[in-house]
Amino acid sequence: MSLSGFCRGGRIALAMFIASAWTLPLHAGPLFDEGKALYGEKAYKHAAKVLNKSLAKEEEADTSTVLLLSDCYIKINKKSKAVDVLTEAAERHPDSWEVHYRLGNLQEEKGDRFGALSAFYQAAQLKPEDNTTLFRLGVAYDSTAQIEKALEMYRKLYRAGSPLAPKLLRTIQGMD
């Protein structure tokens, strides 16, 4: 077999692998599907109950379940429950940027500045080049009176050419 034939066969095998991976479920199982359907129907309270069962019963519950459950709690105005679910998920899924970032947003909304700082710090560790995360971390540093660290985030954003840099600087200066 020639090298070009091998490469062509390799590309076909890669395409088949990718196609099979896309058909695999990205969630825990049938309870997740039911909860997702209820969420789509805007039955958030019932969806939250089903998704809670999914977390309890389906051993391989992933972050999709947690994120959807937290969305349900937000929709039914139970943000403290959403924070609880995300806090537990952050421990079970420490490598999930989405969980830490969303937890930071909710902590900030609730006025827990140090909780937000911790969550945004973890998110920034997972995605150190994400400018939005760096901005949110800079704001969290500023809100906890850690001005030098906030300025460090500003400098990172400025060096990256981010349009968020001037906004963070205005926040630190108390102009925003």
pLDDT of amino acid 56: 85
The structure's pTM equals: 0.80
Q: What is the mean pLDDT of residues 88-114?
A: 96
Residue 27's φ and ψ, nearest 5 degrees, are: -145, -175
Q: What is the mean pLDDT of residues 127-136?
A: 97
Tokens of 93: 């899924």
DSSP 99-146: HHHHHHHHHHHHT-HHHHHHHHHHHHHH-TT-HHHHHHHHHHHHHTT-
Q: What is the mean pLDDT of residues 59-68?
A: 82
The domains found in the chain, sorted by start residue, are: 26-78 (no CATH), 94-176 (1.25.40.10)
pLDDT of amino acid 59: 61
What would the pLDDT profile of 28-49 be if each residue is shown by its tens digit?
Answer: 588 899 999 999 999 999 999 9
Q: What is the mean pLDDT of residues 91-106?
A: 96
Is 69's pLDDT higher than 60?
yes
